[in-house]
Chain A
Amino acid sequence: NAGVTQTPKFQVLKTGQSMTLQCAQDMNHEYMSWYRQDPGMGLRLIHYSVGAGITDQGEVPNGYNVSRSTTEDFPLRLLSAAPSQTSVYFCATSREGQADTQYFGPGTRLTVL
Chain B
Amino acid sequence: GENVEQHPSTLSVQEGDSAVIKCTYSDSASNYFPWYKQELGKRPQLIIDIRSNVGEKKDQRIAVTLNKTAKHFSLHITETQPEDSAVYFCAARASGSARQLTFGSGTQLTVLP
Report A's interface with B, CB cutoff 8 A: 40-45, 48, 58-59, 90, 97-99, 101-102, 104-107
Contact = CB atoms under 8 A, between A and B. Distances in A.
B61 interface: no
A92 to B, nearest CB: 8
A18 to B, nearest CB: 25
A1 B103 CA distance: 28
Most central of B45, B100, B106 by chain A CB within 10 Å = B100
12 contacts: A42-B103, A42-B105, A44-B103, A45-B101, A99-B31, A99-B99, A102-B36, A102-B46, A104-B45, A106-B42, A106-B43, A107-B43
A48 B100 contact: yes
Contacts of B34: 101-102
B100 A58 contact: yes
Nearest to B104: A42
Given A42-B106, A48-B100, A99 B43 contact: no
A90 B106 CA distance: 16
Contacts of A106: 42-43
Nearest to A50: B99
Given A40-B9, A40-B105, A40-B106, A98 B45 contact: no
B104 to A, nearest CB: 6
A107 B100 CA distance: 20
Contacts of A98: 32, 93, 99-101
B4 to A, nearest CB: 8
Nearest to B44: A104
B89 interface: yes
B99 A97 contact: yes
